[in-house]
Structure 1
Amino acid sequence: MSKRAVLEVIALDAEDAVAARAGGADRLELVADMAADGLTPPVATFAAVRAAVDLPLRVMLRLADGFTAGDPAPLVAATRSLREAGADEFVLGFLDRDGGPDLAVLDLLTAELAGCRWTFHRAIDRAADRAGLRKLLADLPGLDTYLSAGSASGVAHGLPTLCAEAARHGEPGYTQRLMAGGGLTLAHVPALRAAGIDAFHIGGAARPEGWTGPVSAEAVRRWRTAVDERETPRPQEP
Structure 2
Amino acid sequence: MGEALLEVTVLGPPDVAGALAGGADRLHLLAPGAGEGDVALSPEPTVVSGVCRESDVPVFVLLRLNDSWTTTGGELTRLVGLAEDYLGCGAAGVSFGFLDSNLEVDAEVCLHLADRLPGVPWTFHRAIDSSLEPARAWRTLVDLPGLVAVRSAGSPRGMGVGYDDLLGTASSDPRIAALLMPGGGLVAEHVPWLAQAGVRQFHLGPQVRPSGSYKAYVDASHVRSWRLLVDDAVGRAERTHRASAG
| TM-score using structure 1 length | 0.89
Mapped pair 1:99 → 2:98: no
Pairing of 1:33-48 with structure 2 (within 5 A): 33-35=33-35, 36-48=38-50
Structure 2 partner of 1:63: 65
Q: Compare the two structures and name the one with the higher helix fraction.
A: 2
Give the 3 Å change call, closer, same or farther, for CA 111–44 of structure 1 in structure 2: same
Take 2:117 and 2:127, find their aligned partners in 1: how far apart are those partners? 19
What's the offset of the Cα at 1:202?
Answer: 0.8
Contact 1:93–1:120 at 8 Å: present in 2 too? yes
What's the offset of the Cα at 1:137?
Answer: 3.0
Take 2:195 and 2:108, find their aligned partners in 1: how far apart are those partners? 35
Match of 1:142 among 113, 136, 146: 146
Structure 1 partner of 2:244: none
Which amino acid is 2:86 matched to? L
Mapped pair 1:203 → 2:208: no
Secondary structure at 2:77 match in 1: helix
Which amino acid is 1:23 matched to? G
Take 1:113 and 1:18, find their aligned partners in 2: how far apart are those partners? 29
Contact 1:95–1:101 at 8 Å: present in 2 too? yes
Give the 3 Å change call, closer, same or farther, for CA 17–128 of structure 1 in structure 2: same
| TM-score using structure 2 length | 0.86
Take 1:92 and 1:198, find their aligned partners in 2: how far apart are those partners? 20
Unpaired runs of at least 5, structure 1: 234-238
Structure 2 partner of 1:223: 226
Mapped pair 1:166 → 2:166: no
Secondary structure at 2:6 match in 1: strand
| Structure 1 stretches of at least 4 aligned residues deviating more than 6 Å after TM superposition | none
Secondary structure at 1:229 match in 2: helix
Structure 2 partner of 1:18: 17
Take 1:175 and 1:202, find their aligned partners in 2: how far apart are those partners? 18
Structure 2 partner of 1:236: none
Take 1:226 and 1:187, find their aligned partners in 2: how far apart are those partners? 10
Percent of aligned pairs with the same residue? Answer: 38
Structure 1 partner of 2:55: 53
Structure 1 partner of 2:215: 212
Which amino acid is 2:16 matched to? A
Take 2:70 and 2:133, find their aligned partners in 1: how far apart are those partners? 16
Which amino acid is 2:216 matched to? G
What's the offset of the Cα at 1:190?
Answer: 2.4
What's the offset of the Cα at 1:175?
Answer: 7.2
How many residue pairs get aligned? The number is: 231
What's the offset of the Cα at 1:222?
Answer: 1.1
Take 1:136 and 1:194, find their aligned partners in 2: how far apart are those partners? 25
